[in-house]
Amino acid sequence: MTKTKLSLHFQLSYATMLFYKSMAKVCAITHKHSLMGGRYSNRTRATQFNPCGNIRKYPNLQKKRIYVPELKKTIILNISTRALRTIEKNGAFATLKKAGII
């Protein structure tokens, strides 16, 4: 049983879309995710003891409905604001195709 390249590509892109749609706080286009950042006061700068602890910094993600006129479909994605600017600059179809969502 052989599959055509188009159907295999569709299955992979659909699987990628489901993976990033279900994963929390990851941009589907730029793949930005949360980072751990440390913070400490000037009083404890020279010591090993750090009472402030770590903090997680999240990307600016927005849940957006993106209409792709070439496919005549609307796709709902969690994307960063940087990805929104990329879509406005390059177009929805080209950006989503490059990211592997379409």
pLDDT at 1: 47
Radius of gyration, CA atoms only, the chain = 19
Which pLDDT score, from 0 to 100, does residue 43 have? 63
Digit-coded pLDDT (tens) for 17-66: 555 555 578 999 999 999 987 766 666 565 556 566 678 889 999 999 99
Q: Which helix (H) or strand (E) holds 59?
A: none
Question: If one looks up domain 8-33+59-99 in CATH, what number appears?
Answer: 2.30.170.40
Q: Does the predicted TM-score (pTM) go above 0.75?
A: no
Q: From its phi and psi, is residue 2 left (phi > 0), alpha (psi between -120 and 50) or beta?
A: beta
